[in-house]
Amino acid sequence: MARPNPELIDALRRTARKLSEGAPYQWGHMGGCNCGNLAQELTKLTKDQIHAYAMQRYGDWNEQVQDYCPTSRMPIDLVISEMVNAGLSLEDLKNLEKLSNKQVLARFPLEKRFLRHNQRNDVVTYLRAWADMLEEQLLETIELPDLSTNTTKKHPQYA
- 144 pLDDT higher than 80: no
Q: How high does pLDDT run on average in the chain?
A: 92
131-159 mean pLDDT: 77
Q: Residue 151: pLDDT band by 50, 70, 90 thresholds?
A: low
> What one-character-per-residue DSSP string does the chain give?
-----HHHHHHHHHHHHHHHTT----TTSTTTSHHHHHHHHHH---HHHHHHHHTTS-S-HHHHHHT--TTS--HHHHHHHHHHHTT--HHHHHHHHHT--HHHHTTS-GGG----TT-HHHHHHHHHHHHHHHHHHHHHH-EEEETTTTEEEE-GGG-
User: What is the rounded average pLDDT of the residues 40-56?
Assistant: 97
What predicted TM-score, i.e. pTM, was given to this entire model?
0.87
pLDDT at 119 over 80: yes
pLDDT at position 1: 85
